[in-house]
Amino acid sequence: MKKSAIRQIRSLSMPFSTPEPFLFCVYHKDEYPAGNEKMEAPRRGTGSDFNPKAKYRMYHGDKIPGFPQHPHRGFETITATIEGIIDHTDSLKCGGRYGQGDLQWMTAGKGIVHGEMFPLVNMDRPNPTRFFQIWINLPKKNKMVDPDYIMHWAEEVKKFETKDKKTKVTVWAGELEGVAALEPPKNSWAKDPKNDVAVWHITLNPGAKYTIPPAKGGKDINRTFYFIEGKQLEIESQEIEPKSRIDVNAGLPVEIKVSDKAQRSSELLMLQGKPIGEPVAQHGPFVMNTQQEIMQAFTDYQRTRFGGWPWPEDAMVFSRDKGRFSKKGKKVEYPPGGKPQKSEKKEL
């Protein structure tokens, strides 16, 4: 009899609990309505609006949803978008607008302040937003590197599809059947192939059946699936309840399946990687190895503000007509086929 790869199944928490080397994961799904002329929502936020039962959340935003300027140190954020728009600004004077399948990978390192706002750019139709924000730890040797970020445009993000086209996988990190993700930042734990880090968004249409191969690092690699969308899913011939976390033995193949009688597609997020194996001390936006280092992070932030905030607003957004772009220093990049908008010189 075939040995099942499943180790444990549990209900999803919010935020998702994650295995090493990951620290945190949130699946943002907000049905934002049409915005006004200032890209604002119809209601104001409370300052901490995270109601999971609401149609949409304002988070820490006031009139525009999102997360105004806040600091980080000691880890990385992976912001992997599916729908919607995010405006990024930071203490390095970098900024950008991305979404609609783009991925931003930011190394906080020794310290950065950034803002992530979700302007409601559409006035004539809703502004649905779906994305994951994933925190992945840095090893001690890289916790105090210079902060940085990279953009992976949707047009270049790698994807895998089965021959029957019923299973589709967006490969944000790692490699699947010869489809290798774009490069992570140079100081990331994911940069070393031996760490076998993978982040995949898996869509299974009705009738899909696919076997995910074992991780290259075998059973010592952590591998977890999150059943985020859909009503029906089987893993290793076991029926899985929606909104479940499934931990598996990464040294074994994993069969995933959706019945041909299912009414809709099912979606999974997969997180995989070798544990860093170092002590983790975390307090809010800082992740270090000891409590003393956490205290030092607060002291450093109070003293330096990690370079200060160079933008005119704490909750900075760009003009409505601005397309997707990424600005680092004096260099401005656009997705393939993208071009500057009229408002660019005035804003940047």
Which residues have C-beta within 8 Å of that of residue 321, sequence separation ≥ 6? 341, 342, 343
For residue 338, what pLDDT is reported?
79
Q: What are phi and psi of 35, to 5 degrees?
A: -90, 170
CA distances from 305 to 80, 114, 292, 294 (A): 27, 11, 19, 15
347 pLDDT more than 60: no
For residue 1, what pLDDT is reported?
60
pLDDT tens-digit readout, 178-200:
999 999 999 999 999 999 999 99
Pairing of strands 103-107, 331-333: unpaired
- Residue type (1 letter), 122: N
Summary mean pLDDT of the chain: 96
Taking every pair of Cα atoms in the chain, the longest distance, rounded to a whole number of angstroms, is 67
Nearest to 73 by CA among 149, 150, 151, 147: 147
Six-digit token string for 244: 């479940």
For residue 160, what pLDDT is reported?
98
DSSP-derived 3-state class of residue 58: coil
**Would you list the DSSP string of 143-192?**
TTSPPEEEEE-TTTSEEEE-TTS-EEEEEEESEETTEEPPPPPTT-GGGS
42 pLDDT more than 60: yes
Pairing of strands 222-229, 266-273: antiparallel
pLDDT tens-digit readout, 263-289:
999 999 999 999 999 999 999 999 999
Owner of token pair 């936006």: 285
**103/108 Cα distance (integer angstroms):** 16
For residue 231, what pLDDT is reported?
97
**316/95 Cα distance (integer angstroms):** 10
**Would you list the DSSP string of 62-79?**
SSS-EEEEEEEBSEEEEE
Its sign, for the CA torsion 168, 174, 176, 181, is positive
**339: pLDDT confidence band, cut at 50, 70 and 90?**
confident
Instruction: Indicate the pTM of the whole model.
Output: 0.95
For residue 342, what pLDDT is reported?
55
pLDDT tens-digit readout, 95-149:
999 999 999 999 999 999 999 999 999 999 999 999 999 999 999 999 999 999 9
For residue 337, what pLDDT is reported?
85
C-alpha atoms less than 13 angstroms from C-alpha of 248 in its C-beta half-sphere? 28
216 pLDDT more than 70: yes
Which residues have C-beta within 8 Å of that of residue 76, sequence separation ≥ 6? 105, 106, 107, 108, 135, 136, 137, 138, 185, 188, 189
CA distances from 317 to 13, 63, 120 (A): 31, 12, 10
**Would you list the DSSP string of 202-243?**
EEE-TT-EEEEPPPTTGGGSEEEEEEEE-S--EETTEE--SS
